[in-house]
Structure 1
Amino acid sequence: MLRRPVEFGEYTSSEFRTVIRELDMRQSMGRVGSCYVNAAAESWFALLKAEIGTAVWATRAEARADVFCFIEVEYNRTRLRRHPELGYLTPLETRARLQQDFTPAA
């Protein structure tokens, strides 16, 4: 593991990439100088952190189960989109409505 904090620019180092592979993780990086590449992902992870906190789980399986539960139960099925043009529907309801709009006419 890394023995010191990773500083700016070190996320592309071979040492850091080796640790990422050892942890069986995938590294995601956008283009240099573009603040918009990861905006959606950053927004999503900020929401996830706000909702489930920064808990420490005993196992990776427990963490995955909690994240799955948040996504499938809270986020997709009960969270309302705060936008009048979307009809204040949940993401699941929005997806179902869009699929109906694409049903071919008989």
Structure 2
Amino acid sequence: MLQRPVEPAVYTSKDYATLCKSLGVTQSMGAIGSSADNALAESFNAALKREVLQDAACWTDELTCRRQTFRWLTRYNTKRRHSWCRYQPPTAYETAYTATLATAA
């Protein structure tokens, strides 16, 4: 079962900020109440649940969850067509796009 994200208080704690700094990670938070706040993650999680879990409430065990999620992610990135990249799989779109870029001097 997918769980709710960690509460915002964790992201703003000093301990969390110190950990992020020590790992070289830049913290990022959207404005509270913004229409774009968490929209991408919500859309992605909804697609995962709809396409993998379908009508089931949760996976039977952790291994099944990992396998099905990995299988879905592989398909999502290499075969599934996305409207944002002209109805091509992301890998095909990126390969075609990077071929048109000028090389850096």
Shared fold (TM-score, shorter chain, > 0.5): yes
CA RMSD, 1 decimal? 3.0
2:80 paired with 1:82: no
Amino acid paired to 2:68:
D
Among the aligned pairs, what percent are the same residue?
30
How far the C-alpha of 1:55 sits from its partner, in A, is 5.5
Corresponding residue to 1:67 among 69, 89, 93: 69
Higher relative contact order (CA 8 A, sep 6+): 2
What is the TM-score when the length of structure 2 is the normalising length? 0.57
CA distance in 2, matches of 1:30, 1:64: 29
CA distance in 1, matches of 2:48, 2:37: 19
Q: Any unmatched runs of 5+ in structure 2?
A: 1-6, 11-28
How far the C-alpha of 1:101 sits from its partner, in A, is 2.3
Aligned to 1:24: none
Structure with greater Cα Rg? 1
Aligned to 1:102: 101
Q: Any unmatched runs of 5+ in structure 1?
A: 1-10, 15-28
CA distance in 2, matches of 1:70, 1:46: 13
Please state whether the residue corresponding to 2:94 is helix, strand or coil.
Answer: helix
